[in-house]
Structure 1
């Protein structure tokens, strides 16, 4: 069950809601009633949002929250209480895309996939809840948790010996990154990468920069850091995903 959600760009500010404290928001849904919503384009996740571990999260009662060009990878709990079909139980969602302009009418807007929206309902009443179309909900930020899954790096299709970009996925904890640095086998220093868009980070490389590459990640809120040693191998290829052995 892939629970996708869309938030407008102002969702970046929801981090002001402390852990364990729910705040008001609005939720809508889009796509098919039991689908994953969009393809995660604005975050750079692509079709991966319809596959494990995101889809596996859904079967465990969680959701993929699908929309925000900022804060990609952050996780939230959402719940509804004002409709008779609401279960009042929170559903966990991960931001994986950017909300269309229509979401900008509300301060905090989650545009959920049909599956995610229905997950807020009592058993057997998901269709009834979706028929409401738009709900007042509550949300709170929570740590991300992908049991048994390590951070992955999907190399951008435009990467070459002089330019390297990758989408970074499945970070536990904050879920969102403040700093990404690359260390090449041919170098003795960490090189800061630049956030290109969504979960994609990039760096220009000199001809002398040689793989394997290690990548150091630092999170936004906790400021924790981990190192994926030699995660990008010699002979790496654009479009390939390389999985590390670390997570927060």
Structure 2
């Protein structure tokens, strides 16, 4: 896994003072709507988004993989050991006329915001906080840059993706690792099965993030996949990869509607 560097406008006592002001300001003026949950958001990286590439979900170049800059890292509580990778959220700034901008954003979870227990009062990703560390371009759509941290409302939404689910095959003839990405619907995967043209369905196990593995030897066989998301829906893609598939190749299957 690539350890990312986190960049926030305003650190230490400055951010803490702003955070306290946000929590105390206008607390009685707005009530969350049904289905929305209160959290906070910061940002990392610059406006180009280079520092948001790769990360703890196993995704790589987010531009090439279709996620672009519309991404977020999740605090430990929301990340759930990588099981929430690929989930989509709608987020809007909340309860601060000074630091909030109008409108909402839609982002995909692609990374992890790690806790830092040495800074219990200055690290917003420590449990039990529900927190979003957005790409800087997404943060600046809903909050003023100088704030560094803003209160937000969020809710889970369906992921709308262009094209089919992508399967990037890695590993070697004795161990296959498949990165599953560009998943629509619920977005976060709970189960993956693989089938060769000479085998029955084989249960894959999560390696990390959205990388799934099997030690079954499948070289020279057509490959099919079943992908199940957190809402219990499953989509089956038959013969996604031809018999002459290659390690490093990316193959496209069906997606959730």
Shared fold, TM over 0.5: yes
TM bin, normalised by shorter chain, reads 0.7 to 0.9
1:138 aligns to what?
153
Matches within 5 A, 1:177-216: 177-187=189-199, 189-206=200-217, 210-216=220-226
- When the two chains are superposed, the root-mean-square deviation of aligned CA atoms in Å is 2.2
Partner Cα separation in structure 1 for residue 73 and residue 202 of structure 2: 31
Distance 1:86 1:136 in 2: 8
- 2:52 alignment partner, SS class: coil
Aligned to 2:71: 64
Tell me how far apart the structure 2 counterparts of residues 92 and 71 of structure 1 sit (CA, whole Å): 15
Q: Deviations over 1:26-49 (max 9, x none)?
A: 1111111352542232111111x1
Task: After TM superposition, give the deviation of residue 20 of structure 1 in Å.
Answer: 6.2
Contact 2:100 2:150 in 1 (8 A): no
TM-score, with structure 1 as normaliser = 0.77
CA displacement at 1:162 relative to structure 2: 1.6
Alpha carbons 1:36, 1:113 under 8 Å: kept? no
Task: Tell me the distance in 2 between the aligned counterparts of 1:110 and 1:80.
Answer: 12
CA–CA distance in 1 between the matches of 2:252 and 2:185?
Answer: 18
- Structure 1: tracts of 5 or more residues without a match: 1-5, 7-18, 122-128
Kept in 1, the 8 Å contact 2:42–2:134? The answer is: yes
In the TM superposition, residue 87 of structure 1 has moved relative to its aligned partner by 2.8
| C-alpha displacement of 1:172 | 0.9
Q: TM-score, normalization: structure 2? A: 0.75
- 1:31-180 equivalences in 2 (<5 Å): 31-35=45-49, 37-47=51-61, 49-51=62-64, 53-55=66-68, 63-67=70-74, 68=79, 69-81=82-94, 82-102=96-116, 103-104=125-126, 107-121=129-143, 129-146=144-161, 148-156=162-170, 159-180=171-192
Query: How many pairs align?
Result: 211
**How far apart are 1:131 and its partner, in Å?**
1.1
In 1, the alpha carbon distance for the partners of 2:225 and 2:83 equals 21
Q: Which has the larger radius of gyration?
A: 2
Farther off after superposition, 166-175 or 232-241: 232-241
Change (3 A) 1:37 1:120: farther
Name 1:125's counterpart in structure 2: none
Who is 2:230 aligned against?
A: 220
Name structure 2 gaps, 5 residues minimum. Answer: 1-5, 7-32, 117-124
